[in-house]
A and B are shown apart, each in its own frame.
Chain A
Amino acid sequence: MTVPTALLSVQHLKIRAGVQGQLAVDDLSFTMAPGEIVALVGESGSGKTMAARAAIGLLPAPMQVCGGRIEFKGVALDSRDAPAMRRVRGAQIGMVFQEPMVSLNPSLTIGRQMSEALKLHTDLDAAEIRRRCLQMLQRIGIKDAERCLASYPHQFSGGMRQRIMLASVMLLRPALLIADEPTTALDCLAQLDVIELMLELTREQGTAILFISHDLSLVARYAHKVVVMRNGKAVEQGGIQDILLAPRADYTRQLLEALPSRGVLAPLPPANGPLLEVRGVCIEHPGPRSFWGKSLPKRVVHGVDLSIAPGETLALVGGSGSGKTTLGRAVVGLVNPCAGAIRFKGVDILKAANRVHRLQCQMIFQDPYSSLDPRMKIGQILAEPLRHEPGMSPAQRRQRVAETLVDVGLAEHFVERFAHQLSGGQRQRVAIGRALVRRPQLVIADEPISALDMTIQKQILELFERLQKQYGFACLFISHDLAAVERIAHRVAVMNQGEVVEIGDRDAIFDTPQHPYTQQLLAAASPLERLAGGGYRIRTR
């Protein structure tokens, strides 16, 4: 063969929802060489997942390919009949899904799920299959591989499950691995871990990766080639270095600009005494218990000290399971600490009469899809906190709701909408509005942007900053997204396994991290850095 054939070639692919429906993918073309890592980058609804699913012949119901050509190893996809396609799937094209919590069958052992594909696609005997599974599990760093084979998925953490998923896909040594946002649901340390493993395994076997992601900075580290997608169209594609150094399309530039960078912070107002004081707080979760037996509580926060001055933003960062969300919930009074004290304006918040705390301390939740009551109109949702403002007349309340809508950048007619009619970013605006409508002095923001698309994240962060300038509330910003933290926090507290391991000014934490865990977190984050000429490169720490 003289011309090297592409492993996967997609030419002028069009995918439509139904016969008359909208185009989900419009005229998409790209090629992949064997062993190459190609990233499809775009926000939700850009058609990146649909394009990948078309390549494996698994489009969900109304979607159908209505034009173009997909060739895998030089053979057109539509020339293969269903049984032939099944032989390709799994054996030659593997797929890893986004949600590790649901992509493994909870009622089958790991061993059965891993061996399933080998049984189907090879004629190895049971002993050999078992040997290969064990070998692979040891390869991905599972200590007790024998026991792992007999275990069920729920016994593993999200990161572990994604490793196992990856292992079982790679067992068949596919020529192409499709990874659909494989690490989006994981925290940044686990994320790094899984991606490194994916690269190692594929490098050994010469597998190409089609990496689908919304996170340009993540992709930038690993991919050879990037296809930036928007509304089903490829707006730009090329080598990763070219795109980073000289993005041509406006949208690519927009995506790159959406990466937060260190911002200039407003100076703090002079204050006497902290607004919030957390002293030696321990929190326990009730453990599993038998019918009559006593439960053994599990301690998740071990003696944390923090304080927040009026108008200050303190960021609480750490991996999942570090206890940062639990601490945030304790500060608003959703969980009670088992030891220590939380004081708001010098008064213990557990004192029954502490109405000031209830009224002036509000929370913004992580998931905009579940934090708004689906049966209430936006107007009702925004007005609800005002029930507890005794001096307000109905007219004043309406006035305040209208003001709040303007504040969060939503039009007036949203009052009559229901949450399901809004996009994720709009919902999060409503959630911010609900937290601010009573003009609180302290806002706890629990991962307020991590469920949103990149450009929307930027908008919400900007909105948050503007409102903070306008109303001067203090904020406890809980996040695992270090880039966002770097942008808006005055001070940063790093939590690991229920303890604050390091706390300090933002610049000190980001420039001269002391604790090894902080250094690890920063190394895992590694965002892109803006160059003077307008391009970007990967920052090394």
Chain B
Amino acid sequence: MSAKRTLPAEPARSVAAPARRAWRYPPLNALIGGGLLLVLIGMALLGLVWTPYEPLRLDLLARFQAPSAAHWLGTDEFGRDALSRMMMGARTSLWISLLSVSFAVVAGTLIGMLAGYLRGWTDRVLMMLNDALLAFPGILMALGIMAIIGASQYGIVLALGIAYTPSVVRVVRGSVLSLRELEFVEASRVIGNSEFYTMLRHIAPNCLAPLCVLATSMFGWALLSESALSFLGLGVPPPAATWGSMLAASRPYIASAAWLGIFPGLFISLALLAINLFGDALRDRLDPRMRK
């Protein structure tokens, strides 16, 4: 039997297309999510250099003004311009959420991979501590940490970061545990790759999908928790503005000056929507199996 006869292999399952392909229209969720995100980030960046009014300037004659041509989003109980404060708050809120989620993802991934890959005693001790942390509600733990390190912008980042780390650890460890039994991980070891290389090259990238989903939903929790902490007086200290603290401050006036609550709430929701859509699109883009 000639060797050549084996050569015509079975046809590929996918369409045999050339490697290069025309640029395709990005999916809808990437467009909407990315667009919204760009607008919000643009607003935050603009707020750094220019705002319609001085966000901290009090104008007691112009208290509780409804949205108008002069004050697009109205003014608050001290006569400060709500739009200016929204722009100032955009930077603080997005920045705090981004930093605390990044902190949780980086720390949680490291610990989770360590526990999942080494197993044995390392795993047991790490997971015991982790489960102990998980037993506290995130906000309670953040409160405790804030009480120790004091209220400041980076204090919140640390507190929220630590509060969200345990769930990342759980998710990453779970993926690692199922991945390390797969044959391609064993294949990597048979090749002679070090454990560290295997972890970095084969296991970490394959944890990405659940991590992406978790990180984007955590971004939303972080935004809300920050506002909860502000509400409890442990957030970014006044008079600095965050969306959460603006929402919290509007509570007594919800009947008489509803716009003070509506707009921060709306922006928080929009940010959540944007980040979730964008996160989904990112996950699909990063997964070669999703590419058609």
Q: Which A positions have Cβ atoms within 8 angstroms of B? A: 329, 332-334, 358-359, 361-363, 365-367, 370-375, 384-385, 387-388, 409-410, 413, 416-418, 420-423, 425-426, 429, 431, 434, 456, 459, 462-463, 466
> Cβ of B205 and Cβ of A365 under 8 Å apart?
no
Q: Given that A366-B183, A370-B182, A459-B6 are known contacts, is A388 also in contact with B202, CB under 8 Å in the complex?
A: no
Q: Given that A367-B183, A387-B193 are known contacts, is A425 also in contact with B10, CB under 8 Å in the complex?
A: yes
> Cβ of A334 and Cβ of B186 under 8 Å apart?
yes
What residues of chain A lie closer than 8 Å to B18, measured between beta carbons?
413
Provide the bound-state CA to CA distance between A417 and B202, in Å.
17
Q: Given that A366-B183, A409-B6 are known contacts, is A421 also in contact with B192, CB under 8 Å in the complex?
A: no
What residues of chain B lie closer than 8 Å to A434, measured between beta carbons?
187, 191
* Number of inter-chain CB pairs below 8 Å: 90
Q: Which B positions have Cβ atoms within 8 angstroms of A? A: 1, 3, 5-7, 9-14, 18-19, 182-184, 186-193, 202, 205-206, 287-289
Could you show 12 A-B contacts with beta carbons less than 8 Å apart?
A329-B186, A333-B190, A334-B189, A372-B184, A374-B206, A385-B191, A387-B193, A409-B6, A410-B9, A422-B12, A425-B9, A462-B3
> Cβ of B191 and Cβ of A384 under 8 Å apart?
yes
> Cβ of B206 and Cβ of A429 under 8 Å apart?
no
Distance in angstroms from B154 CB to nearest chain A CB is: 35
> Cβ of A426 and Cβ of B192 under 8 Å apart?
no
Distance in angstroms from B1 CB to nearest chain A CB is: 7
> Cβ of B19 and Cβ of A416 under 8 Å apart?
yes
> Cβ of B193 and Cβ of A384 under 8 Å apart?
yes
Question: Lowest 10 CB-CB distances: which A-B pairs, in order?
Answer: A371-B183, A365-B183, A421-B14, A418-B288, A358-B192, A416-B19, A466-B3, A385-B191, A373-B184, A370-B182
Distance in angstroms from A299 CB to nearest chain B CB is: 21
Provide the bound-state CA to CA distance between A333 and B186, in Å.
10
Provide the bound-state CA to CA distance between A410 and B18, in Å.
15
**Residue of B with least CB distance to A365:** B183
What residues of chain A lie closer than 8 Å to B288, measured between beta carbons?
374-375, 418, 420
**Residue of A with least CB distance to B7:** A409
> Cβ of A423 and Cβ of B191 under 8 Å apart?
no
> Cβ of B12 and Cβ of A359 under 8 Å apart?
no
> Cβ of B289 and Cβ of A371 under 8 Å apart?
no
Distance in angstroms from B268 CB to nearest chain A CB is: 34
Provide the bound-state CA to CA distance between A409 and B191, in Å.
22
What residues of chain A lie closer than 8 Å to B5, measured between beta carbons?
462
> Cβ of A423 and Cβ of B3 under 8 Å apart?
no
Distance in angstroms from B189 CB to nearest chain A CB is: 6
Q: Given that A365-B187, A371-B183 are known contacts, is A359 also in contact with B192, CB under 8 Å in the complex?
A: yes
> Cβ of A370 and Cβ of B184 under 8 Å apart?
yes
> Cβ of B289 and Cβ of A418 under 8 Å apart?
yes
Provide the bound-state CA to CA distance between A366 and B189, in Å.
16
Provide the bound-state CA to CA distance between A242 and B87, in Å.
83
Provide the bound-state CA to CA distance between A418 and B186, in Å.
19
**Residue of A with least CB distance to B15:** A421
Q: Given that A423-B12, A426-B10 are known contacts, is A362 also in contact with B190, CB under 8 Å in the complex?
A: yes
Distance in angstroms from A350 CB to nearest chain B CB is: 15
Provide the bound-state CA to CA distance between A333 and B190, in Å.
7
Provide the bound-state CA to CA distance between A374 and B207, in Å.
12
Distance in angstroms from B138 CB to nearest chain A CB is: 27
> Cβ of A459 and Cβ of B9 under 8 Å apart?
yes
Q: Given that A387-B193, A434-B187 are known contacts, is A423 also in contact with B10, CB under 8 Å in the complex?
A: yes
Provide the bound-state CA to CA distance between A434 and B190, in Å.
11
> Cβ of A422 and Cβ of B192 under 8 Å apart?
no
Q: Given that A374-B289, A375-B288, A418-B288 are known contacts, is A409 also in contact with B9, CB under 8 Å in the complex?
A: yes
What residues of chain B lie closer than 8 Å to A367, measured between beta carbons?
183
> Cβ of B183 and Cβ of A463 under 8 Å apart?
no
What residues of chain A lie closer than 8 Å to B188, measured between beta carbons?
373, 384
Distance in angstroms from A182 CB to nearest chain B CB is: 26
What residues of chain B lie closer than 8 Å to A329, measured between beta carbons?
186
> With A409-B9, A420-B288 given, can you name 14 additional A-B contacts, CB distance below 8 Å?
A332-B190, A371-B182, A372-B184, A374-B184, A375-B206, A375-B288, A384-B188, A384-B193, A413-B19, A421-B13, A423-B11, A423-B12, A425-B9, A431-B187
Distance in angstroms from B60 CB to nearest chain A CB is: 60
What residues of chain B lie closer than 8 Å to A384, measured between beta carbons?
188, 191, 193
What residues of chain B lie closer than 8 Å to A333, measured between beta carbons?
190
Provide the bound-state CA to CA distance between A459 and B8, in Å.
10
Distance in angstroms from A283 CB to nearest chain B CB is: 16
**Residue of B with least CB distance to A415:** B19
**Residue of A with least CB distance to B8:** A409
Give the interface centre of B7, B187, B188, B205 by most chain A CB atoms within 10 Å.
B187
Partner of B184, one of A359, A371, A423, A456: A371
Provide the bound-state CA to CA distance between A448 and B233, in Å.
64
Distance in angstroms from A496 CB to nearest chain B CB is: 25
What residues of chain A lie closer than 8 Å to B12, measured between beta carbons?
417, 421-423, 426
Give the interface centre of A409, A410, A429 by most chain B CB atoms within 10 Å.
A409
What residues of chain B lie closer than 8 Å to A358, measured between beta carbons?
192
**Residue of B with least CB distance to A291:** B124
Give the interface centre of B7, B9, B189 by most chain A CB atoms within 10 Å.
B9
Distance in angstroms from A432 CB to nearest chain B CB is: 12
**Residue of B with least CB distance to A369:** B183
Provide the bound-state CA to CA distance between A426 and B14, in Å.
12
> Cβ of A363 and Cβ of B187 under 8 Å apart?
yes
Distance in angstroms from B69 CB to nearest chain A CB is: 54
Provide the bound-state CA to CA distance between A332 and B189, in Å.
9
Distance in angstroms from A404 CB to nearest chain B CB is: 14
What residues of chain B lie closer than 8 Å to A363, measured between beta carbons?
186-187, 190
**Residue of A with least CB distance to B286:** A375
What residues of chain B lie closer than 8 Å to A361, measured between beta carbons?
190
What residues of chain B lie closer than 8 Å to A431, measured between beta carbons?
187
Distance in angstroms from B9 CB to nearest chain A CB is: 5
**Residue of B with least CB distance to A453:** B10
Partner of A462, one of B1, B10, B206: B1
What residues of chain A lie closer than 8 Å to B10, measured between beta carbons?
423, 425-426, 456
Distance in angstroms from B146 CB to nearest chain A CB is: 35
What residues of chain B lie closer than 8 Å to A374, measured between beta carbons?
184, 206, 288-289
Provide the bound-state CA to CA distance between A15 and B59, in Å.
74
> Cβ of B192 and Cβ of A385 under 8 Å apart?
yes
